[in-house]
């Protein structure tokens, strides 16, 4: 798809972007200027891919892999709970192991299961919207962005409502696994979340074996017992990973979307007037302000790509916000417009065999939740300082005070 010429860039053509700066903006003018100069930039952690065509190609390239072990080790983590959980996750496997694990989930995590959740999503979104309408200023993440996907995930997995408050701390912190390079207490928070979630999921698995109900974990247990292809440890790891994918990324995508609407209130008015645009609005939000703004791969072997020599083990990061505004692919890509149907899909869900398991669920939650909010509440405005996650990893506002128009 890319029109980049197959010639190596000369050293002076290669921009440098300090992606490890906590204030770094992956869709800033600096990044977009770098994109105009070259399809990639250098950074403290390696290659940054700035254009859509090259990012999409590399995500699908079988000469690239995830290499979870190398990812943890390059961030100074060589053992411990986070290491033990992350290295064997489904995303870090390829070939037969990946197909075996993915096959188990695909048998039960079906489009029909997601569609059956839609009435619950709408009902929960409506209840939360009524609560937002009753206050002058809300803290959107706490009052909507967090509780909606948490309730949906818990309903999907069969987590009792009385466990939500305990569950939410772990599911919020585990997504920081991709931000460990920023140091501080991040690794400790991730490890605490992994230990808590693993213990809880193992207990839940035992309960579902004894007393299965109509939920995803019960279905996974039934298939696991029938097939005998996935161990207890693998199933626990798989469910902990699903928990992370089903909650943290979606809550931040809601937050990012509301920031975008607060900066483009006319688009909120359009959505309120034309709720049938909700699926298209979801795609535009994920393009404009993705909750996974960086997607990484490692070179699994030495190879040449567009005149650039990649050595085995080279770390390559797709700069998703910049790529999804690439003028070579997106007409008026630097404009947020939910009325425009974009042909190119989002990069944050990955590609090929590793396309995100939770993509359809995230689209369902956003697609049901946003029109409910727009139909009940006027355009949002930011009512105070917004605090953010680090720019690498799962990204979005931690605190988002909003006031909705009448």
pLDDT tens readout for residues 57-110: 999 999 999 999 999 999 999 999 999 999 999 988 888 888 898 888 888 888
CATH of domain 11-404: 1.10.630.10
The Cβ of residue 266 has, within 10 Å, a number of other Cβ atoms equal to 11
Residue 400 confidence (pLDDT) above 80: yes
Q: Average model confidence (pLDDT) for the chain? A: 91
User: What is the spatial order of strands in the sheet that 138-139 belongs to?
Assistant: 138-139, 401-404, 380-382
Cα 85 to chain centroid, rounded: 18
Strands 294-299 and 315-319: antiparallel
Residue 13 has pLDDT above 90, yes or no: no
Residue in this structure with the two tokens 């466990």, named with its chain if needed: 163
Number of Cβ atoms within 10 Å of the Cβ of 388: 18
Instruction: Identify the pLDDT of residue 12.
Output: 56
What is the DSSP track for 151-212?
A: HHHHHHHT--GGGHHHHHHHHHHGGGGGGGGG-TTHHHHHHHHHHHHHHHHHHHHHHHHHS-
Q: Is a pLDDT exceeding 80 seen at residue 7?
A: no
* Mean of pLDDT values over 176-180: 88
pLDDT at 158: 87
pLDDT tens digits, 363-381: 999 999 999 999 999 999 9
In this predicted structure, what is the pLDDT of residue 35? Answer: 95
Is a pLDDT exceeding 60 seen at residue 243?
yes
Q: Rounded CA gap, 66 and 313, in Å?
A: 10
CA dihedral 23, 167, 383, 259 (to 10 degrees): 60
Residue 144 makes CB contacts below 8 A (sequence gap 6+) with: 125, 128, 129, 132, 138, 254, 369, 373
**Angle ∠(76,77,81) on CA atoms, nearest 5:** 165
Residue 4 has pLDDT above 60, yes or no: no
| C-alpha span between 391 and 296 (Å, rounded) | 14
Quick one: average pLDDT of 216-244?
89
Give the single-character DSSP code of 345: P
> Residue 352: how many CB atoms within 10 A of its CB?
9
How far apart are the C-alpha atoms of 282 and 342, rounded to whole Å?
Answer: 11
Tell me: pLDDT of 163 over 80. yes
Condensed to tens digits (0 to 9), the pLDDT of residues 279-316 reads 999 999 999 999 999 999 999 999 999 989 999 999 99
The pLDDT of residue 385 is 96
Q: What was the pLDDT predicted at 351?
A: 78
- Whether the pLDDT of residue 161 is over 90: the answer is no
Confidence of residue 186 (pLDDT cuts 50, 70, 90): very high
What's the rounded Cα separation, in Å, for the pair 344 and 329? 7
Rounded to whole angstroms, the Cα distance separating 176 from 185 reads: 10
Per-residue pLDDT averaged across 341-370, rounded?
89
Nearest to 106 by CA among 236, 204, 209, 220: 220
What proportion of the chain, given as a percentage, has pLDDT over 90?
69
**Confidence band of 236 (pLDDT split at 50, 70, 90):** very high
Cα–Cα distance, 404 to 125 (Å, whole number): 16
Query: What's the pLDDT band for 37 if we cut at 50, 70, 90?
Result: very high
What six digits make up the tokens of 69? 């072990």
- Cβ neighbours of residue 251 closer than 8 Å, sequence gap 6 or more: 141, 145, 146, 148, 149, 150, 172, 396
Q: Which residue has the tokens 């065509």?
A: 53
Return d(Cα 184, Cα 167) in angstroms, integer: 23
What is the Cα 62 distance to its own chain's centre?
22
Q: Residue 406 — very low, low, confident or very high, per pLDDT cuts 50/70/90?
A: low
273/163: higher pLDDT: 273
296 by DSSP, 3-state: which? strand
Q: How many CB atoms lie within 10 A of CB 285?
A: 25
Q: Are 41 and 12 in contact (CB under 8 A)?
A: no
pTM of the model: 0.91
Collapsed DSSP state (helix, strand, coil) of residue 264: coil
Q: Of 174 and 337, which is predicted with more confidence?
A: 337
Residue pair 308/48 in contact by the 8 Å Cβ criterion: no
On the question of pLDDT at 122 being above 70, the answer is yes
For 289, other C-beta atoms within 10 Å of its C-beta total 25
What is the C-alpha to C-alpha distance for residues 77 and 381, in angstroms, rounded to an integer?
Answer: 41
In angstroms, rounded to a whole number, what is the distance separating the alpha carbons of residues 23 and 335? 23
């Amino acid at each position: 798809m890319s029109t980049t010429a197959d010639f190596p860039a000369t050293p002076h053509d290669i921009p440098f972007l300090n992606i490890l700066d906590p204030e770094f903006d992956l869709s800033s003018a600096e990044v977009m200027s770098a994109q105009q100069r070259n399809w990639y930039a250098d950074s403290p952690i390696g290659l940054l891919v700035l254009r859509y065509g090259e990012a999409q190609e590399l995500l699908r390239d079988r000469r690239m892999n995830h290499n979870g072990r190398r990812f943890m080790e390059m961030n100074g983590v060589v053992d411990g709970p986070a290491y033990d959980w992350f290295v064997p996750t489904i995303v870090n496997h390829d070939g037969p192991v990946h197909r075996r694990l993915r096959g188990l989930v695909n048998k039960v995590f079906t489009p029909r299961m997601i569609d059956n959740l839609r009435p619950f999503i709408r009902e929960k979104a409506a209840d939360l919207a009524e609560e937002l309408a009753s206050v002058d200023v809300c803290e959107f993440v706490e009052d909507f962005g967090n509780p909606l996907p948490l309730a949906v995930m818990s309903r999907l997995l069969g987590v009792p409502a009385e466990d939500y408050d305990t569950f939410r701390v772990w599911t919020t912190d585990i997504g920081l696994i991709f931000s460990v390079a920023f140091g501080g207490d991040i690794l400790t928070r991730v490890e605490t979340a992994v230990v808590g979630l693993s213990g809880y999921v193992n207990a839940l698995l035992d309960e579902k074996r004894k007393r299965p109900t109509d939920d995803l974990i019960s279905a996974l247990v039934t298939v696991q017992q029938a097939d005998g292809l996935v161990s207890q440890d693998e199933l626990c790891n798989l469910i902990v990973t699903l928990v992370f994918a089903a909650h943290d990324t979606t809550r931040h995508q809601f937050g990012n979307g509301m920031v975008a609407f607060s900066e483009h209130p006319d688009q909120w008015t359009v959505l309120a007037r034309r709720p049938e645009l909700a699926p298209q609005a979801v795609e535009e939000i994920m393009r404009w302000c993705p909750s996974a703004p960086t997607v990484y791969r490692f070179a699994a072997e030495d190879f040449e790509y567009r005149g650039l020599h990649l050595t085995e083990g080279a770390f390559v990061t797709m700069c998703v916000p910049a790529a999804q505004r690439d003028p070579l692919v997106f007409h008026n890509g630097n404009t947020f417009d939910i009325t425009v149907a974009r042909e190119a899909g989002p990069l944050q869900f990955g590609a090929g065999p590793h396309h995100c398991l939770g993509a359809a669920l995230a689209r369902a939650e956003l697609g049901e939740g946003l029109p409910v909010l727009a139909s009940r509440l006027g355009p949002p405005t930011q009512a105070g300082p917004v605090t953010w996650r680090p720019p690498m990893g799962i990204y979005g506002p931690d605190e988002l005070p909003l006031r909705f128009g009448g």
